[in-house]
Amino acid sequence: MTTDAYDVEALLRRAFTPVEPPERLSERLDSTLQSLTDASLDELEGWELRAMKDPRNWVRPVAAAAVGASAGTALVVLRVRASQKKKQQSRNPAIQARKTADAVAAEARKLLRR
């Protein structure tokens, strides 16, 4: 007694079909995360230890460190995922985990060198 209008399974299948993101989304996200990381580093470079005696001056450096750490982590994850998609995936989970860990370490070193 089901009709096409009430076929819930077909409606759900249509609703949950994968949608490809725009091609430039990854590039825009990468550049935004990079600019956030750079801005937080600039803020932390201007930080003076003498001013830290007053707790009211702690907000900006703490916020800059949090934003920089979050953006840097997201940037590493984004770049590792992009490089993993291009390469052949291994069926062995241990090998794949080692390759992923190596890629994360390499991307983190690149960001820390800046």
Choose from 4-8, 32-36, 109-113 the range with maximum mean pLDDT.
32-36
The token pair at 80 is 């590792």
Instruction: Catalogue the E-assigned strands of the chain.
Output: none
Over residues 13-23, mean pLDDT: 84
Percentage of the chain modeled with pLDDT above 70: 90
Kindly state whether residue 95 falls inside one of the protein's structural domains.
yes
Kindly state whether residue 1 falls inside one of the protein's structural domains.
no
Kindly state whether residue 7 falls inside one of the protein's structural domains.
no
What mean pLDDT is reported for the chain?
82
Kindly state whether residue 103 falls inside one of the protein's structural domains.
yes
Over residues 1-30, mean pLDDT: 80
**Structural domain boundaries enclosing 81:** 25-113
Kindly state whether residue 45 falls inside one of the protein's structural domains.
yes
Give the containing element (helix H, strand E) for 61: helix 59-86
Domain count, the chain: 1
